[in-house]
Homo-oligomer: A and B are copies of this chain.
């Protein structure tokens, strides 16, 4: 045990001590440290394994952190007698555990699944659902922004895979590290909260592409192109609840909308390539708008063909979802793909674990989804199968835990 702890510390010591190289897209709590352990006596981890994301900070990790290649989204319900006290103790245990695992320190209670590997950019993010406030007797502290999302005509939601008292997002660049964290978090919840639903997702492996910012989804689309950037002057106010915002315990927090969106890939793949591009309004090859340029070129919604027809069709996804079409509504999309084998009819059970972040879900997600629901050509090829809305509070300082301002003040 001691021998093991020491060798682990030696292995990871350099990484955690010196890992501070900021990443453009990282911002605030999302900064990633890359450093190879170089103690001559120990084996060296390379950058993938040794990359660490700090747990403690003003904001929680896993929001502006670059997308990892593996994710687990899990909702828990509190057991009937857990109450506010049980929930507080659980969040304290979870915060301690997340800080340890994210720093690459082994889970002594666990099986060692993640041993030998570094934290591999592990992040753990905690959120509260609408029902959490009933279960803990804190109804008067429930944010207005957690009001249930409206029903959309294209929804086919499975309630057993929707919502939940607590939501945990786990991301890592190694599947065993992610699985080990999931097991540890579940074990730490035993007796206080049971798993309500869980979903596993994935994205590009680091280094698989020379264009790491352009992640493709399972339809082959370049995804996340028009995401707001932490460099945008209004990024913070659109994505995060400000200090002094309402409620006070949500300062530096954000609201996550989580939707399991199944893709009807058999139908989609039968469409000729040009029709797929017309549905989206973007080129398949590089994600550039059909009005020209490259992926980052703004879409020219006004452009017309010589015959007067718009280049970007009236129901093209890129037009209907554009901020210009939605009063400037914007959200930070940070989605993973999923593939859970086949449905009974042989169709792939695969699609997008859509996760988006915003300061105000009514103004952002709901505004855009209402528009998409009415007139998006892409909606023929997708089914929203589950939905969740979670209040994700700000990050915890050292010695504190996530949600402490809600549960103890």
A contacts, CB < 8 Å to B: 1, 3-4, 7, 11, 37, 42-49, 69-70, 110-118, 120, 173-177, 179, 183, 187, 194-195, 198-200, 202-211, 214, 216, 218-220, 222, 265, 268-269, 273, 276, 284-285, 337, 339-342, 346, 348, 350
Hey, which chain B residues are within 8 Å of A69, CB to CB?
174-175, 205
> Which residue of B43, B114, B199, B210 is within 8 Å of A211 (Cβ)?
B43
A126 vs B288: C-alpha distance in the bound complex, in angstroms? 37
What are 8 A-B pairs with beta-carbon distances under 8 A? A48-B207, A113-B218, A118-B209, A173-B208, A175-B337, A176-B204, A179-B218, A340-B340
Partner of A205, one of B120, B179, B265: B120
CB of B49 within 8 A of CB of A214, answer no
Q: How far is the CA of A112 from the CA of B276 in the complex (A)?
A: 11
User: Is A205 in contact with B173, judged by CB distance below 8 angstroms?
Assistant: yes
Chain B nearest CB from A172 CB (Å) reads 9
Q: Are A205 and B48 in contact (CB under 8 A)?
A: yes
- Chain B's nearest CB lies how many Å from the CB of A13? 14
**B43, A216: Cβ atoms under 8 Å?**
no
Task: Please indicate the chain B residues that have their CB under 8 angstroms from the CB of A269 in the complex.
Answer: 110-111, 183, 187
| Distance, CA A57 to CA B253, complexed state (A) | 56
Q: Are B342 and A198 in contact (CB under 8 A)?
A: yes
Query: Judging by beta carbons under 8 Å apart, are B116 and A200 in contact?
Result: no
A195 partner residues in chain B, CB cutoff 8 A? 342, 346
Complex CA–CA separation, A211 to B176 (angstroms): 14
Query: Which listed residue (B3, B183, B205) contacts A174, Cβ 8 A?
Result: B205
Can you name 16 extra interface pairs (CB under 8 A) apart from A111-B276, A113-B216?
A48-B207, A110-B220, A110-B269, A111-B219, A111-B220, A112-B216, A116-B211, A174-B204, A174-B209, A176-B208, A177-B208, A179-B337, A187-B269, A194-B346, A340-B340, A340-B341
**A110 → chain B closest CB, angstroms:** 7
- Contact check: which of B45, B111, B339 meets A210 at CB < 8 Å? B45
**Contact A47 to B207, CB < 8 A, known contacts A115-B216, A218-B179:** yes
Q: Which residues from chain B contact A116 at a C-beta distance below 8 Å?
A: 209-211, 214, 216, 222
A49 touching B210 in the complex, CB below 8 Å, given contacts A117-B204, A174-B205, A179-B337:
yes
Q: Which residues of B contact A202 (CB under 8 A)?
A: 70, 175-176
CB distance from A67 to the nearest CB of B (A): 12
C-alpha gap A269/B216 in the complex (Å)? 37
Cα–Cα, bound, A219→B115 (Å): 11
CA of A200 to CA of B337 in the docked complex: distance in angstroms? 14
What is the chain B residue whose CB lies nearest that of A194? Answer: B346
Q: Which 9 A-B pairs have the closest CB atoms?
A: A111-B220, A48-B207, A43-B210, A112-B220, A174-B208, A175-B202, A4-B285, A116-B209, A117-B208
Given known contacts A111-B284, A175-B202, A203-B175, is B120 in contact with A208 (CB within 8 Å)? yes
